[in-house]
Amino acid sequence: MLFKGVLTSISLAIAAVTTVVAVPVKKTLEVRDDEGGDQTNGLTDLVAWDTHTLKINGEPLFLFSGEFHYYRLPSPGLWTDIMEKFKALDYNGVSFYFFWGYHSPKKGVYDFTGIRDVQKAFDAAKNTGIHVISRAGPYINAELDSGGFPSWLAQMQSPARKYNPENNAASEEWLTEIDKYMVANQITKGGPIILNQVDNEFSYNTDPKYMEMLKAKFLKDGMEVPTIFNDAGPNGNFAKGPGSVDIYGWDQYPAGFDCSNPLAWPNNRSTTFRDFHERTNGDQPMAIYEFQGGAFDPWGGPGYPECYKMVNEQYAKVYYKNNYAQGVRIQSLYMTYGGTSWGGLPKPTVYTSYDYGAAISEPGLMTTKAYENKLQATFLHTVKPFLTTKHFDPESDKRDIILIDGLADVNTPTKFYIAQHQLTKSEDKDEFHINIKTTDGKFEIPRSSKLILNGRDAKILTTDYAFNSQHLVYSTSEIFTHQDVGSHDVIIVYAYENEEGEFAIKVKKDKSQVETDDDSVKSETSDGILQLTYKHPNGTTPVYISGGTEKELLILVAGYDSALRWWAPYTEEKKGERALIHGPYLVRSAKKDESTIAFTGDIDETTDIQVVLPDGVKFITWNGESVKLTKQDKHGIYTGTLEFKKPDIKFTDLTEATWKYKAASPETDPEFDDSEWVTADHLSTNSTTPYDTQPILYADDYGFHTGCLWFRGKFNGSSEITGFNITAHSGDASAWTAYLNNEYLGGFDVGNHAFTDLNGTKIKADGENVISLLLWTTGHEDDFSADENFKQARGFTQAELLGVYNQTIWSIDWKVQGNLGGEDLADPVRGPYNEGGLYGERNGWHLPGFPDDDWEDVNIPESKNRTGVSWYRTTFDVNIPDGYDVPMSLRYKDDTKTRYRTLLFVNGWNMGRYGNDLGPQTQYYLPKGILNTQGKNTLAIGVVAIDEAAQLGEVVLEPYKVLQAALPEVELVDSPGYDTRQQS
């Protein structure tokens, strides 16, 4: 191996033993080793790196990762399902953010059991062979309440994400707990973790000492894998100097987060990564730890189908391939499975669904983008020279319209040409040519067909590439994968249907034979190069070359849609060997023995399949059942049919169900007994929200952090008092309602409202008056800029009587109530974000088994307008037979925009916040495990009228899709009933 650049004595030492990968030498930043000498962090050599890629166990790889949040899928059995889907899409990595607040309801209290059992998430990754990028925080952002901080942290006087004793102690408290799992699950201990992120996107108001403190803590606890940092864009934070990490990287969201104009797209993608990387950390692989895989959508937004259109498969082609062209060799797509921000998980901006328009949708379904990601990932894992390239500027025509990046492998003659429109969003169809130099000569390609870029497309063309026993001269079709099947080699190539393609392969004799049924295929041999031209079909055309190559070659020419349904799962028999199967909706795995390949996967209809069987293999099974195969030709291609058997699925029609109703805002009644409530008597706060009046009416200061909050204020009447002035402070999509002496005064968005001219009418001049305020909160702000924003209050900044001069004499006595028990959770199983402070929540009305016999019988849709808060309960049955995956949802159907909000409890779990007046979400995913898919379920809906009264509209159960599936076993999540509830 050749070493260039400035070599210190340390790197010479590495060079001397360079064939031995395992050299634990502390890397030094001054060492520049352009030709791939290995570096390590000095703690382990199982995860090493060079200037190009990571090396796991000495093996270089493209880390094709995606983000997944276990807390956004509160059913551990389904974590395996999602990891299997990652694997099926040929991801070899997953990035987990760990959510401190999800595990810690109270300072010093931690829970890693049940749905919080992170070990199960690690196991799911490990058992499917997926590497984990572990991102423990403390801060994570992620559109979560407080950006992942526990709610109690807002009570801290000192700033978070800064080096100070109070914050250091809090961060260390968390890391002590999570590190137990992280340390044990590192690759060095046989686990899946390969990289460890130190805080997230700490890119504003930074503090290197804080980063150093975190690094030291990880080290002390036993973290050995390399540290990483995800900068908010390529800015160079913590790439060098104090606080710096082993492998610096950044994030990038080029399409932004407004999905309302999905096809707009920016004009350009970044072409500066390469220079930036070279300047900043060129001795490390280029890493993007978050690249846009979709987008979040706010309350009132256009909805996830629009985000999916914005970040669609074309986006994946153009932007991801641009990353590769720039040199990115570690890429994690945020999100690859978004899931559900159930209960009080989300930060105020976003609603319950966190589908994100991601590759795998919220109910776990495949999208075209998922299949596109698979095409890319499999190419990146197959064509190894792509891992070790250097950029060059190729010669090409139409340079003002078409951008071509050249990548030359430093170890072999293989070169790649990545073509995309200069104007990213161009919809034009443009023909172009590239001059290539290969070991077989110089060519202007294509030579006798057309190479086009049709709109938002990008292509990676491979030249001069030795694969299996073949030598590809060039291909203007993109490669999916190739495989030696014994007697011959197989390669699958693709482009959009009807586009022409050219494929040139080296042959020994000038008389090789080309066999195909497709008459668009033309062949010509000269100078030892066999050149095929063809039209990409609707479907996949086999072209067989014999006679000239060392082994015969089967070229499967696929149109794009057909290519999407090719799968190349590893056979689990020989390292790197892939089975080739076309057709199914999802292929989870393949296991090969001498004569059989056993596939597992999912289908959504009767599916014709094609398989390419390696020599010796005669049979296949699908989910354990043998499949009758017909030989399509003599080249190992077989066809068969996977029969979709329609299942007998049953679920209750909720419009026919008996529902129970009860009114549930007794807090508005002056006689209501609030003696057990917390007295709001604080005169100061650590919140960043300025207050106008005292006492402090910020619920967090009294230990209530989630969901609805009640405040009751009492004051003695006087004819002087004309009204009161109240200002609510909470996040987006919050609302509040005010009552005086049991009378509705109004419902408002957050902000100020002056209630005037109430003297002599609503305010009693004699005796006690009671103001009841109900605040619907939507979580705490995040701390993206490390500016303490998460300490913003949820409550009231101002509550003063009008018409009186001396507020201290005429003050209001306040009591506050949130979830039962506050930080001492009444329901630790469901955790800190499940319940808020509605009367029904405090009293367990949402739980299975609550005795509602004496409630009124009603039908839904409701026939009556109900004031205040109303609760509805019913039970329903679901029966989905084994062998099927039928993800279920609950949908609200109400065309009115009446201002009401609801909480949806299924078996006691708060699976969604609905804003009838806000939208856009009307459909709520009920994951298997939370939902009993073979039995009875309890449904409870709490309706909060913001207008004076509300009438709950139609509510229906609705499946997303019916799949005959190899879904892994999903156990029912522990859902304690009313009988286990501690009573207050």
CA dihedral angle for residue 742, residue 743, residue 745, residue 747, rounded to 10 degrees: 70
Q: Is 201 a catalytic residue?
A: yes
Q: Residue 230 or 589: which CB sits closer to ligand IPT?
A: 230
Q: Residue 332 or 420: which CB sits closer to ligand IPT?
A: 332
Q: Residue 351 or 651: which CB sits closer to ligand IPT?
A: 351
Inter-helix orientation angle 76-88/118-128, to 10°: 30
> CA 909 to CA 930: how far, in whole Å?
7
Sheet holding 434-438, edge to edge: 395-396, 434-438, 441-445
Q: Running DSSP on this structure, what letter comes out for residue 321?
A: H
Catalytic residue among 290, 552, 667, 788: 290
Catalytic residue among 67, 84, 172, 201: 201
Q: Residue 200 or 817: which CB sits closer to ligand IPT?
A: 200
CB of 353 to ligand IPT, least distance (A): 13
Can you give the length of the chain in residues?
984
Q: Residue 334 or 739: which CB sits closer to ligand IPT?
A: 334
Q: Residue 232 or 709: which CB sits closer to ligand IPT?
A: 232
CB of 894 to ligand IPT, least distance (A): 29
**Chain Cα centroid distance, residue 650:** 31
Q: CB within 8 A of 766, min separation 6: which ones?
A: 717
Q: Residue 332 or 706: which CB sits closer to ligand IPT?
A: 332
CB of 171 to ligand IPT, least distance (A): 18
CB of 203 to ligand IPT, least distance (A): 8
Q: Residue 140 or 940: which CB sits closer to ligand IPT?
A: 140
CB of 357 to ligand IPT, least distance (A): 11
> CA 212 to CA 197: how far, in whole Å?
13
CB of 377 to ligand IPT, least distance (A): 22
The dihedral built from the CA positions of residue 438, 441, 444 and 449, taken in this order, carries a sign that is negative
Contact, 356 vs 90, CB < 8 A? no
Contact, 586 vs 601, CB < 8 A? yes
CB of 545 to ligand IPT, least distance (A): 48
Strands 884-885 and 768-776, bridge-based pairing: unpaired
Contact, 518 vs 551, CB < 8 A? no
Sheet holding 478-484, edge to edge: 478-484, 488-495, 552-559, 540-546, 513-516
Q: Running DSSP on this structure, what letter comes out for residue 319?
A: I
Strands 286-292 and 328-337, bridge-based pairing: parallel
Q: Is 441 left (phi over 0), alpha (psi -120 to 50) or beta?
A: left
Q: Residue 139 or 833: which CB sits closer to ligand IPT?
A: 139
Which residue's beta carbon is nearest to the bound ligand IPT?
141
Q: Residue 144 or 187: which CB sits closer to ligand IPT?
A: 144
Name 875's bridge partners: 938
Q: Running DSSP on this structure, what letter comes out for residue 973?
A: P
SS3 assignment, position 840: helix
At which residue do the structure tokens 């705490």 appear?
A: 780
> CA 785 to CA 798: how far, in whole Å?
27
Strands 63-68 and 328-337, bridge-based pairing: parallel
Terminal alpha carbon distance of the chain:
72
> CA 197 to CA 133: how far, in whole Å?
7
The dihedral built from the CA positions of residue 627, 631, 636 and 641, taken in this order, carries a sign that is negative
CB of 280 to ligand IPT, least distance (A): 17
Q: CB within 8 A of 893, min separation 6: which ones?
A: 922, 953, 954, 955, 956
Contact, 887 vs 602, CB < 8 A? no
Q: Residue 349 or 916: which CB sits closer to ligand IPT?
A: 349
CB of 79 to ligand IPT, least distance (A): 20
Instruction: Kindly state the tokens that stand for 272.
Output: 């500066």
At which residue do the structure tokens 């389904």 appear?
A: 78
Q: Nearest-5° angle of CA 41, CA 46, CA 47?
A: 55
SS3 assignment, position 745: strand
> CA 825 to CA 841: how far, in whole Å?
12
> CA 163 to CA 134: how far, in whole Å?
22
Q: Running DSSP on this structure, what letter comes out for residue 40?
A: B
Q: Residue 142 or 333: which CB sits closer to ligand IPT?
A: 142
CB of 335 to ligand IPT, least distance (A): 8
Q: Is 177 a catalytic residue?
A: no
Amino acid (one-letter) located at 977:
G
Contact, 310 vs 259, CB < 8 A? yes
CB of 824 to ligand IPT, least distance (A): 30
Residues lying near ligand IPT in the complex (CB under 6 A): 140-143, 200-201, 232, 251, 253, 290, 296, 334
Q: Is 306 left (phi over 0), alpha (psi -120 to 50) or beta?
A: alpha
Residue 427 exposure: Cα atoms within 13 Å on the Cβ side: 3
Q: Residue 293 or 868: which CB sits closer to ligand IPT?
A: 293
Q: Nearest-5° angle of CA 441, CA 445, CA 446?
A: 135
Cβ atoms within 10 Å of 924's Cβ, excluding its own:
24
CB of 372 to ligand IPT, least distance (A): 20
CB of 334 to ligand IPT, least distance (A): 6
Catalytic positions are 201, 290
